[in-house]
Amino acid sequence: ISKPLMADLALKVQETVHLAVLSDVEIVYVDKVDSPRTLGVMSKIGQRAPLYCTALGKVLLANQPKEEQSKIIHKIKLKPYTINTITSKKKLLEELKRVLEQGYALDQKEYEEDVECIGAPIRNHLGDAIAALSISGPQRKINTPSEKLYVSHVVGAANLISSKMGYAGGTSPSL
């Protein structure tokens, strides 16, 4: 369901598109479409990354039921990958609240020095966030006049995939 929409998104934004799922205290990339531009993000399907400093991970963590979210956060060791990495559980909780309120997450060079990402949840027919979709790349997207356009493309694609998975809208009942 997601592959053609991921390919379309990659063409629109000229960035690498990732699809990931939650796996314990990490995300796992389950699919990707490379950027059509020469310079893109090097990643592999099956590769793992932290929850707390990736847009994909923050979206998935923010959308977990509170009890499950607390268990996961308790197990996470917040190590700095860059100077922008969140390393305090208090700041992480504040960030997750913001992600839940706005419906998407940002990675502002938190995991890799020169990479910015925007991620949004993919929901199943019950409204549970079962995966996340993101755009990633060296191109400046965040804190630019085009940020809202990038966000709308990612959120729109994630919503379309969700609707094809049977999601009809509204808030997830597990929150």
User: 129-142: per-residue pLDDT in tens?
Assistant: 999 999 998 878 88
pLDDT reported for residue 170: 58
Enumerate residues 6+ apart whose C-beta is below 8 A from 114.
Answer: 138
Average pLDDT of the segment spanning 29-37: 89
Between helix 55-62 and helix 89-102 the angle, nearest 10°, is 80
- Asked whether the predicted pLDDT for residue 175 surpasses 50, the reply is no
What's the pTM value of the predicted model, to 2 decimals? 0.91
- Asked whether the predicted pLDDT for residue 18 surpasses 90, the reply is yes
pLDDT reported for residue 9: 96
d(CA 120, CA 132): 6
Strand order in the sheet with 129-137: 48-50, 26-33, 16-23, 129-137, 116-123, 105-108
pLDDT reported for residue 124: 95
pLDDT band at 41 (very low <50, low <70, confident <90, very high): low
Average pLDDT of the segment spanning 5-9: 96
pLDDT reported for residue 59: 97
